[in-house]
């Protein structure tokens, strides 16, 4: 069974380290400029500020199984709007991938976020294996974002 561990804005150092590794190892970022940006106080400061705002807070969570962290996610549920849960990041640590672990984590994530007002989900993705994963969970294409990256939605 997958549990969700919420990360406070005061306990983000481990998350940021895992986040940067995920972005690099999964080929989401690869040049020095992107690595510098996603490592920067500017990028991290924006998300950390969103974690403490009064409404539509940014959340960082770990997925845990048997007391061990097996993945993580970053998301924001727009309760002030229509309940969209935008998934900024979502990953299972490489040694735990396969055997349906990503699906199990998403089902736990879905239950967790729906109890906090999520009505539907949206994300952007351009890697083929990620797109296959999201489509296997019922996500469908939904246009493109401001950076011309494909958007996917699940209602």
Average pLDDT score, the chain: 95
Per-residue pLDDT, averaged over 45-67, amounts to 96
Examine the pLDDT at 67 and tell me if it is beyond 90. yes
List the one residue out of 91, 74, 101 whose CA is nearest residue 25: 91
Architecture in CATH for domain 2-154: 3-Layer(aba) Sandwich (3.40)
Instruction: Please state the pTM of the whole predicted model.
Output: 0.94
Tens of pLDDT, residue by residue over 11-23, are 899 999 999 999 9
3-state secondary structure of 99: coil
Tens of pLDDT, residue by residue over 88-133, are 999 999 999 989 999 999 999 999 999 989 999 999 999 999 999 9
| Residues 136 and 107 sit within 8 Å (Cβ to Cβ) | no
The DSSP string of 36-63 is HHHHSHHHHHHHHHHHSSSSS-EEEEEE
- Which residues does residue 84 pair with via DSSP β-bridges, in sequence order? 78, 120
| Residues 85 and 118 sit within 8 Å (Cβ to Cβ) | yes
């Amino acid at each position: 069974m997958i549990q969700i561990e919420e990360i406070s804005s005061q306990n983000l150092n481990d998350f940021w380290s895992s986040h940067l590794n995920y972005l690099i190892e999964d080929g989401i970022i690869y040049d020095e400029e992107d690595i510098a940006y996603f490592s920067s106080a500017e990028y991290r400061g924006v998300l950390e500020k969103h974690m403490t705002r009064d409404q539509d807070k940014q959340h960082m969570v770990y997925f845990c199984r048997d007391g061990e962290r097996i993945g993580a996610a970053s998301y924001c549920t727009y309760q002030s709007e229509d309940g969209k849960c935008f998934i900024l990041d979502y990953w299972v640590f490489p040694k735990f991938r396969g055997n349906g672990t990503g699906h199990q984590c998403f089902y736990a994530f879905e239950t967790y976020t729906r109890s906090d007002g999520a009505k539907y989900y949206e994300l952007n993705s351009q890697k083929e294996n990620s797109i296959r994963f999201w489509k296997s969970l019922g996500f469908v294409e939904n246009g493109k974002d401001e950076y011309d990256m494909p958007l996917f939605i699940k209602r």
